[in-house]
Amino acid sequence: MKSALFAAVLGAAGFAAGAASADEGFWTFDNVPAAKVRAAYGVDITPAWLDHVRAAAVRLSIGCSGSVVSAEGLVLTNNHCVADCAHDLSPANADYFTDGYFASTRDREKTCAGLRAEILTAITDVTAPMQAAGAKLTGAALIKARDAEMASLANAGCGTDRKLHCEVVSLFRGGQFKLYRYRVYDDVRLVFSPGDRTASFGGDPDNFNFPRYALDAAFLRLYEDGHAVASPEHLRWNPTPPVAGQPVFVAGNPGQTFRGLTVAQLETQRDQAAPMLMSQLSELRGRLIRFGEESDADRKMSGDALMGIENDYKIFVGRLTALDDPAFMAARRAAEADLRAKALARMGSAFGDPWAEIAGVQGAAQSLFVEERMIEGGPWESLLFNDARTLVRAAAERERPSSDRLPEYADNQLALLERGVLDPTPVQPALEQLMLEFWLSKSREYLTADDPATKLLLGRESPEGLAARLVGGTRLGDPSVRKALWDGGWKAIQASDDPMIQFALKLDPEARRIRERAEDAVQGPTARAAEAIAKARFAVDGADAYPDGTFTLRFSYGAVDGWTYRGKTVPPFTTFAGLYDRATGQPPFDLDPRWLAARDKLDPATIFNISTTNDIIGGNSGSPLLDARGDVIGTAFDGNILSLGGDYGYDGRVNRAVAVTAVAISEALTKVYGADALVRELEAR
Amino acid sequence: MKSALFAAVLGAAGFAAGAASADEGFWTFDNVPAAKVRAAYGVDITPAWLDHVRAAAVRLSIGCSGSVVSAEGLVLTNNHCVADCAHDLSPANADYFTDGYFASTRDREKTCAGLRAEILTAITDVTAPMQAAGAKLTGAALIKARDAEMASLANAGCGTDRKLHCEVVSLFRGGQFKLYRYRVYDDVRLVFSPGDRTASFGGDPDNFNFPRYALDAAFLRLYEDGHAVASPEHLRWNPTPPVAGQPVFVAGNPGQTFRGLTVAQLETQRDQAAPMLMSQLSELRGRLIRFGEESDADRKMSGDALMGIENDYKIFVGRLTALDDPAFMAARRAAEADLRAKALARMGSAFGDPWAEIAGVQGAAQSLFVEERMIEGGPWESLLFNDARTLVRAAAERERPSSDRLPEYADNQLALLERGVLDPTPVQPALEQLMLEFWLSKSREYLTADDPATKLLLGRESPEGLAARLVGGTRLGDPSVRKALWDGGWKAIQASDDPMIQFALKLDPEARRIRERAEDAVQGPTARAAEAIAKARFAVDGADAYPDGTFTLRFSYGAVDGWTYRGKTVPPFTTFAGLYDRATGQPPFDLDPRWLAARDKLDPATIFNISTTNDIIGGNSGSPLLDARGDVIGTAFDGNILSLGGDYGYDGRVNRAVAVTAVAISEALTKVYGADALVRELEAR
């Protein structure tokens, strides 16, 4: 359950469909259904409980969640959230990605390049100015006015203080806008990783599976000015084994979900976006698997990218499974018809028909989709191309006043952008070339060889030849070259003879045109209609609603529980004994030698992974699993296969979150890794 | 438009939906709509015309069509139908696949290992005995009784004469059964191939595209007893440029199509089979692309497999596009409701509801699909595994009387099977390993690691390790080893310590169980209900119907024509001048040096490729394109992108076949390849 890589592609965040059922929901911290929780589980979620948890809940820029679990800035998250960092930090003679890493002393804690942690400090309602900014505008003008207002509100909230980050979040698809204010930590260091073999035991075959046997946990530490951050507001570590039925809570950042889309939008996803993206992911997966088989070095180079691609692929399978389910679509159609009828009854015919308006732009959405995805979207992963595009756009945008820019280049974004571009993460040319070649060849395939955009991309070159020329010729792998271009601005960009810069420069006007056309024909009309639907929803359902995931802090409640599906009951627990049973000795079912050595020391009955009814989704990875007191009893790292439709809806009978327990983490830290010092820090009171 | 690799996976052949519209239909040679053709095009398709064409129409065992075009057994087909052969025949110092081959003298014509040609000599109605055989039976018993009757009828028709081949074809999904009798030629030699670069100019990007610039034509020759076959019954070569609107006819073997499936069956394909297969094909495609990039040798080894996979992948994209089109499904639903109402009105309530019966088994079809596809279906491509399975099954089956065997192991099939197993086509171990590894890893992924079938497949090995062990250890690559096992029968199989044989032997009981379960729960009830639906259709529509494609000889009529789609009109012709314009010098848009050298000699206005309204599909590749007299004016090799829904229906406004003209072939043979002797043979009267 890694970051929701394609979330931005698929659509805007939305309303959850219908009133929430038991245990359902990504609840904002300013609208937690405390009465429901009390009724269902007898637990009082007080404002103090929420403030305490919020102050220790961490959002990681890699698309994960985490929590502060000691007074010295120690952060618990998932290992898959630090795997990139472990890979990048590995010296020539060690492989932290595979074998893990433990900083036995403070001076061995190493900064994860580019990783940023944020803690939410305040939520302010800015619905009125945001809706006023867009009033009476349509198309791209509406989108631009809202973008400008967002930037201006964020700027007013945080200014240019690098320790603060403000963003305006659109909830309920424009039904509400809230300003989220964060405290930022941009020196985050790796403390402990068990290594991928142990964290991803079972690999792709077991991903989104349960029973499960993965120690997908890791520790980071927040630093500031070269020192570990003091964190009196931290969560307590509770290595008590969970019991079946125990109420459990999750505080984390679910990524973009699509529960609030209209049926017309869902059909576009089902019939066009999801099949195309699933198919492209499958092919890229195949290319990466074979690439990794070419040598050990290639396997290491591509392992993390492959893990992400396989994860995203499964997510698409889950999405398509939900969308292809006639019962699901029928339920959505019925719910929509119901809301429409009630809205009309309550608000009269002047209300119009925003559903029809959204249905009306699906033709445009579908005909623009391929160009948007391929030309404006760019390659799935390429540091070099992404840096080139950012350098080109930032230079062009900085020539204008902040309010006239593309929103991601507004003044309050520049520090972050600069940090991203100057991030010294080393580039892997062979992998870059694979990613660029794939993107170019898929662009030609989907746009066809005769399309002007294909001709713009390729000229008379082949995807293979162009990718090799760009990667072979660019000097952007050198951070000092990127810095000179960032500092030199538009003049330096125009003067650059770097082939990647020239390529990004050549592509940019067309990419912007596509984006503008989509804003005009799709996003603008959709935003206007979605605001109307949100109003109808508030009028009909009141406050008993949660917005779709937006990778912002949310509260989820539930219980430790298994499930029954097609007559088969899956219990909610696995143990260390089960891990040893499952190990075949062959990857991805092979054990780390330290685990083989520690077998006799470990208590085989230790509860290792558990399933719970919490409603979570990609982005929640690393979230603390909390008990009634708000203490940490584990960290959520996955969902079962039946939870993969969670982007579109929650079915309490079968959707399950998967977590690794604090008791297993403590036991392993002590008996497998000799990390007693870490356990002492966790258990300090 | 290569062989329909997955056709057998997706379902049974069926009725075309509703009455046929203009130019639609794969008409059997005993039911050609001559009156319609006369009315539409003023051409008389007489019995003599049909007999003449039938006697020269060739079916190739690689899944292609062709036609005899000289008195000395010369056969015109597509280059992509001989590409495998060209590859296999290449000596160490030449690459016939890429550069082509021309046998300037008869003694240089080389046998294509394993390639068989058949000419249809008679069609006999066997509906009565076939329906009687299945009467009153259900489930697997029904399937087995029909299989046994098929074998017995085929045996009665052809005996064990190796020059004859008989097969019972189920038309209209069991509404009719016909015995097709063929004259067999099993020494087929390569005469001319222009090479893949010229035949597949534009490669995958241009596949299923038009305008098109591909010389996808090749020549074979039929041999018997070491001599070229005398063929007085051949088609005349007509290198006259076609004109727009000219009536044109195709005689060829369309592969299995699905126009006659019920809506419930179509939904299963849409929601389960097609997405899974498309996704697997995508990944395999990615693995093969990267494999081919590892070295020139690997590229050559995998080129043909990749071409086939990419072709099949596009076919699935086309299928899904049709199935996901709400208008298409609504039309099918309406047509089904209409037939159901008419059938009830005509036949009364005793008729029952066969559509509901078919809908009722879709749950079973869906839950059995993955096991059926992966365990009984086996790897996409692996000569070694397929040989092992054939050896194991043939040995086991030969222990029983012919009528009790799996139908593909009946007495009248054994000669063919033996020939297949002993085919000396060399094995490519690296490619074999890739294919096996892929199949094993996808089986684990789709069945899950916990499934008993996965455990049976893998034991405690990994897909990578098991594939390497099987391919590394087997001696089945040696034809003499295969011969010893074939001759040695069940005792030799049981005694063999060959790891691939042992693996196939271990898997076989489970694969048979799955097959039996599917026959019992799905195929049996479906066959019974489909027969009833066919009766209803005959009662309502009479003879104005054609059956779904079954890779048997069919007649198609139409005209040279372009099309208009979304406001854009595509003319039906391309010329040699267009080829030179399109050539960028980069693969797959690079020209063979001989074409570069011949540029000034060629007439740039020569009509190269054309589009026509003929209703054809995979399996038709290599079919002669005929004028009103039955002379050959080209060979069909593809369809446009809009024809890809042709598996499910034909839309005369946009479905187009694509052919290379006889005039372009003649011009190229003379001026590019110096194959004047071949042209003289073609033009001899």
Report chain A's C-alpha Rg in angstroms: 24
Backbone phi and psi for residue B59, each to the nearest 5 degrees, phi listed first: -110, 130
Structure tokens at B102: 């021309």
- Chain A CB contacts of B450 under 8 Å are 211
**Residues B19/B544, Cβ–Cβ less than 8 Å:** yes
**Residues B630/B678, Cβ–Cβ less than 8 Å:** no
Give pLDDT tens digits for B486-508: 999 999 999 999 999 999 999 99
d(CA A72, CA A681): 9
Residue ranges in chain A whose pLDDT is less than 70: 1-21
Please tell me if residue A296 touches chain B, with a CB cutoff of 8 Å: no
Beta-carbon contacts of residue A556 (< 8 Å; ≥ 6 apart): A23, A25, A26, A27, A249, A250, A251, A252, A614, A615, A616, A620, A657
Residue B7: pLDDT band by 50, 70, 90 thresholds?
Answer: very low
Cβ distance A461 to B320 less than 8 Å, yes or no, reads no
Taking alpha carbons only, the member of B172, B23, B30 closest to residue B547 is: B172
CA B337 from centre of chain? 32
pLDDT, position B9: 26
Which amino acid, A379?
P
d(CA A25, CA A23): 7
**How close, in Å, is residue A303 to chain B by CA atoms?**
15
Residue of A276, A283, A433, A447 to mutate when probing chain B, most B C-beta within 10 A: A283
Cβ distance B279 to A280 less than 8 Å, yes or no, reads no
Write down the mean pLDDT value for chain B: 93
Largest CA distance in chain A: 73
pLDDT, position B332: 93
- For residues B450-478, give the mean pLDDT: 96
Starting at the edge strand found earlier in the chain, the sheet holding B657-661 runs B27-28, B554-559, B247-252, B624-626, B632-639, B657-661, B607-612, B573-575
Cβ distance B275 to A271 less than 8 Å, yes or no, reads no
- Chain B CB contacts of A580 under 8 Å are none
Give pLDDT tens digits for B440-458: 999 999 998 888 999 999 9
- Chain B CB contacts of A585 under 8 Å are 460
Element (H, E) at B639: strand B632-639
How many residues are given for chain B? 685
Give pLDDT tens digits for B64-95: 999 999 999 999 999 999 998 998 899 999 99
Count of Cβ atoms closer than 10 Å to residue B270 Cβ: 18
Structure tokens at B292: 């081919």
**How close, in Å, is residue B318 to chain A by CA atoms?**
12
User: Any idea which residue has 């365990």 for tokens?
Assistant: B375
Residues forming a β-bridge with A642: none
Please tell me if residue B480 touches chain A, with a CB cutoff of 8 Å: no
**How close, in Å, is residue B219 to chain A by CA atoms?**
30
- Picking from A288, A465, A584, the nearest residue to B586 by CB comes out as A465
**Residues B553/B53, Cβ–Cβ less than 8 Å:** no
Is the dihedral angle over the CA atoms B399, B401, B407, B411 positive or is it negative? positive
Is B18's pLDDT higher than 70?
A: no
Three-class SS state of A646: helix
Cβ distance A205 to B448 less than 8 Å, yes or no, reads yes
d(CA B514, CA B519): 9
Return the CATH fold of B7-116+186-258+548-683.
Answer: Thrombin, subunit H (2.40.10)
Taking alpha carbons only, the member of B616, B613, B626 closest to residue B653 is: B613
Q: Which residue of A has its CA nearest to B448?
A: A205
**How close, in Å, is residue A634 to chain B by CA atoms?**
25
Taking alpha carbons only, the member of A489, A488, A485 closest to residue A399 is: A489
**How close, in Å, is residue B56 to chain A by CA atoms?**
38
**Residues B675/B669, Cβ–Cβ less than 8 Å:** yes
pLDDT, position B403: 84
d(CA B12, CA B173): 7
Taking alpha carbons only, the member of A562, A579, A580 closest to residue A571 is: A562
Is B192's pLDDT higher than 50?
A: yes
What pTM did the predictor assign? 0.90
Q: Which residue of A has its CA nearest to B367?
A: A566
Cβ distance B448 to A280 less than 8 Å, yes or no, reads no
- For residues B456-468, give the mean pLDDT: 96
Backbone phi and psi for residue B539, each to the nearest 5 degrees, phi listed first: -65, -40
User: Any idea which residue has 């693995």 for tokens?
Assistant: B287
Residue B20: pLDDT band by 50, 70, 90 thresholds?
Answer: low
List strand residue ranges (DSSP E) for A548-631, in order. 554-559, 563-565, 568-570, 573-575, 607-612, 624-626
- For residues B614-620, give the mean pLDDT: 95
**How close, in Å, is residue A556 to chain B by CA atoms?**
29
Cβ distance B449 to A209 less than 8 Å, yes or no, reads yes
Task: List, as ranges, residues 444-473 from B with C-beta within 8 Å of A.
Answer: 444-445, 448-450, 460-462, 464-465
Cβ distance A275 to B275 less than 8 Å, yes or no, reads yes
d(CA B217, CA B62): 15
Cβ distance A586 to B462 less than 8 Å, yes or no, reads yes
Taking alpha carbons only, the member of B410, B518, B506, B517 closest to residue B457 is: B506
Cβ distance B289 to A286 less than 8 Å, yes or no, reads yes
**Residues A292/A299, Cβ–Cβ less than 8 Å:** yes
pLDDT, position B10: 27
Task: List, as ranges, residues 232-271 from A with C-beta within 8 Å of B.
Answer: 267, 270-271
Three-class SS state of A537: helix
State the SS3 of B609-636: EEEECCCCCCCCCCCEEECCCCCEEEEE
Task: List, as ranges, residues 516-575 from A with C-beta within 8 Å of B.
Answer: none
Q: Which of the two residues, B645 and B44, has the higher pLDDT score?
A: B44
**Residues A215/A202, Cβ–Cβ less than 8 Å:** no
Taking alpha carbons only, the member of B458, B472, B293 closest to residue A290 is: B293
A258-to-A12, A261, A645 alpha-carbon distances in Å = 7, 6, 10
Task: List, as ranges, residues 142-201 from A with C-beta within 8 Å of B.
Answer: none
- Chain A CB contacts of B640 under 8 Å are none
Beta-carbon contacts of residue A183 (< 8 Å; ≥ 6 apart): A118, A119, A121, A163, A164
pLDDT, position A20: 60
DSSP of A84-132, one letter per residue?
Answer: HHHHHH--TT--HHHH-EE-SSGGG-EE-TT--EEEEEEEEE-HHHHHH
- Picking from B283, B449, B585, the nearest residue to A205 by CB comes out as B449
Cβ distance A584 to B462 less than 8 Å, yes or no, reads yes
- For residues B622-626, give the mean pLDDT: 98
